[in-house]
Amino acid sequence: MPEPFKNNFDETAISTMAEHLARGNADFNVDSFISFATSGLEDLELKQRSSRLTDALELYLPKDYKTAANILTASLDTPKQPGIHGWPIMPMADYIARHGLQDVEFSLDVLKAMTSRFTSEFAIRPFILTHPKLTLKTLSHWAKDKDEHVRRLVSEGTRPRLPWGIQLKPFVKDPTAVLPLLESLKNDPSEYVRRSVANHLNDISKDHPDLVVELAKGWMVKAPKDRRRLIKHGLRTLIKAGHPGALSALGYTSPKVTVSHFEILTDTVQLGEAAHFTLNIRSTTNKDQPLIIDYAVHHVRSGGKNTKKVFKWKNVTLKGHETLNITRRHAFKKISTRRYYSGCHKIEILVNGKSLGKAAFTLLLN
C-alpha cells in the first residue's frame, strides 16, 4: 500500500529541512523549529502539515522579509550542494505568498527559484490576483525559460480552477488574459508542460466551452501529433458531455452505425460486485469512421432522482460496414466520493456523444 501523501512532511523531512535552513542562518533555532512543526503531526493532513511549517518559518526566520527570503533561497538544493527540494518547497513558497506581496519582482524571482525544485503553482496565485499586470508580464517571459518546471508554472499557476489552489475568479469570468500564455506553450517540447496546458484548457472549458472549441479548431490546423494529443486531453470534459463542437474539432462526426445488440448480462448487481454488459455495433457507411465509445451510468439518488456519470470505454476506427463486438465490466465499489442507493440503475451507450440506447439493472446494497 502506498505511503499517504501527508508523510512527505514526516519528522525526518522536517528535521532535514531545518538543517538546511540553519546553513544560511547561524541564529536559526533548529530544535524549536522541529518541536513546533512536529507537534501533533499525526493528527494533521498534508495541507495542514504544510501550513504548520509555514507558521514555523514565520516564528523562527528573521522578521525582515528579504533577509528571511534570502535564507530560504540559500537553503535550496543545487548541483554543488544538497538542499531543500520536493514537498518542503510548498510551505516555503506559501511563506513568500504571505509576506512578499509588497515586493513583487523580488518575490517572483524567489518563487521561480523554488519552482525549479518542486512547484510554486499555489503560491503565485495571490500575486496574480493582487498584481495581475506585472505578474502576467513576468510569466510571459518565463514561458521561454529553459527550465520545464518554470514553463509549466506559467500554465499551471494561472489555471482558473486549479485543485487545492485559490480560485482565480477573474479568469473564471474571462480567461482572455491568459490565452497568449497558453498559445506560447502549445508546442512546448516537454510533455510535462503540455499536460498542464491541456488541463488548463479543460478548466476553461467548464465555463467557456465555445471559446475552447474555437481555440482548439485553430490549434488543430496542421497540428503535430503532440499538439493533437494536448487538444484531445484539453477537450475531455466536453467530449464526455457529447459537445458537438468539441467532437467536430477532433474529427468526430455523427456516427453512422446501428446497434445490433446491447445487453446487460447481470440483471442484479450487489454492491462490491460488477455489472457486465456487451455491445455489438455495425457500420452503415462505406467509409472508415473514428468513434469514441463511452458509456454513462445513471445512478439512483435519494428521492427517486438520478445522476448521470460518463465513463471512457474505447476509441476505434470502424471500417466501412465493419461490425464491432466489445464487452465491459463496471465495478460498484464503496468509495468516499459517492453514496449508492438500491434500485433501478441504467447504463447508456454513447458513440461520438450520441446516445444509442439504454438498458436497466438493479443494484442491491445488501
What residue spans define the domains of the chain?
5-249, 257-364
Per-state percent for the chain, helix, strand, coil, to nearest 5: 45, 20, 30
pLDDT in tens, 321-356: 999 999 999 999 988 888 899 999 999 999 999 999
Residue percentage of the chain with pLDDT more than 90: 92
pLDDT at 254 exceeding the cut of 80:
yes
Please compute the mean of the pLDDT values over residues 136-140 and round it to a whole number. 98
Q: Could you please report the per-residue DSSP string of 152-217?
A: HHHHHTT-TT-TTSPP-HHHHH-GGGGHHHHHHHTT-S-HHHHHHHHHHHHHHHTT-HHHHHHHHH
Residue percentage of the chain with pLDDT more than 70: 99
**How would you class 317 by CB atoms within 10 Å of its CB: exposed for 0-12, middle for 13-18, buried for 19 or more?**
exposed
Question: What torsion, rounded to 10 degrees, do the Cα atoms 270, 357, 216, 194 define?
Answer: 20
**How high is the pLDDT of residue 321?**
95
Share the mean pLDDT of the chain. 95
pTM: 0.87
Model confidence at 304, pLDDT cuts 50, 70, 90, reads: confident
pLDDT at 1 exceeding the cut of 60:
no
Model confidence at 26, pLDDT cuts 50, 70, 90, reads: confident
CATH topology match: 5-249 vs 257-364 = no
Distance CA 326, CA 94 (A): 50
> Class of the 257-364 domain?
mainly beta
Distance CA 292, CA 281 (A): 13
pLDDT in tens, 72-126: 999 999 999 999 999 999 999 999 999 999 999 999 999 999 999 999 999 999 9
The CATH superfamily label for domain 5-249 reads ARM repeat domains (1.25.40.290)
